[in-house]
Amino acid sequence: MFVFDSEDFDGHEQVVFASDPDTGLKAIIAIHDTSNGPALGGCRMWNYATESEALRDVLRLSRGMTYKAAISRLPLGGGKSVIIGDARSQKTPELMRAMGRAVERLRGRYIVAEDVGTSVEDMAAICTETAHVVGRPADRGGSGDPSPFTAYGCLVGIRAALDHLGRADGLRGARVAIQGLGHVGWHLAGLLAEAGARLIVSDIRPEIVERAVRTFGAEAIAVDEIHTADVDVFAPCALGAVINDRTIPALKARIVAGSANNQLAEGRHGAVLRQRGVLYAPDYVVNAGGLMNVAAELGTYDATAVRRRIEGIYDTLMDIFARADRQGIPTNAAADRIAEERFRRHRRAGKIMAA
């Protein structure tokens, strides 16, 4: 396994391997960039097949957080952590507390929050060991589950994409295919239904699909067909890498906008979407609502200010779409350039200050 020269490493400031034999903790904490503030990012618990897979995942996710914080104009850097293990059978409060001690040893360079496989309750366990944790429950001074805020950001993002394509009625009557009805997808379905959109949904859990059909009048579609649905918007809210060489030719949607991280299997798929006339709303812009909400816990939490900031996703996307059109580049490249300009400016300023 080579690390420093791998594409995923991308100049990470620090990568920490943390273990606690008593609780079985095996974790990796990756800090990509702290030039604009402490690295904030969720802790994912996943049953990775190999340690290399876990390392690759944490590096990719951590780098993505730097871009997400920069594009969202938050005074934060990018980081992420993973715990290797099955969240259903191996997660215990003791293990999460051991994770809290690992976070504490970084003295605030990394701030942890929930992610796939971890929850608000886990953040409550972590906060017995460290103050560097957000997404805590309300009775621990936190703002709770970030998913409804992420879903609201997705709604704003979908509205921006529809407006950019000149759809006169906006969300009313728009057809949206949601892949994954988990924490974010379910809330998004509710918001879209309320706004008058028509939904097509899929999930590997049939019971949640049935509930969406009953609750929102959604139409169900098979898991392996959701990307082929005849809709205006495809909203990936489950897995990464769903936009790939196999799925792109079958896409009928003119817009891809959803919450899943790393939706493009490879960066070049952004260009393929553009060639096919599909508008891609970059994932880390659309799904930043949860980060904006948990970041607000670091100051005096103000729900109205959080909502206003999330609504700013609309203008951020409009800038990205305009820049992509002006420069003839894919939207993911336009977003990356804007984010890079920002965090590199902070990096340079930091070096000048330190000199």
By CB under 6 A, name the binding residues for ligand NAD: 116, 146-147, 150, 179-185, 202-205, 208, 223, 237-239, 259-261, 287, 290
Judged by CB, which is closer to ligand NAD: 191, or 223? 223
Catalytic residue among 80, 91, 252, 351: 80
CA pair distance 347, 344, nearest whole angstrom: 5
Q: Is the Cβ of residue 165 or residue 220 nearer to ligand NAD in the bound state? A: 220
CB of 203 to ligand NAD, least distance (A): 4
In angstroms, give the least distance from the CB of 201 to ligand NAD: 9
Provide, rounded to whole angstroms, the least separation between the CB of residue 239 and ligand NAD. Answer: 5
Q: Which is nearer to ligand NAD, 33 or 203 (CB)?
A: 203
Active site residue 80: yes
Which of 148, 330 has the CB closer to ligand NAD? 148
Q: Which is nearer to ligand NAD, 35 or 179 (CB)?
A: 179
User: Shortest approach of ligand NAD to residue 172 CB, angstroms?
Assistant: 25
Closest CA to 242 of 219, 223, 218, 221: 223
Shortest distance in whole angstroms from residue 35 CB to ligand NAD: 22
Active site residues: 80
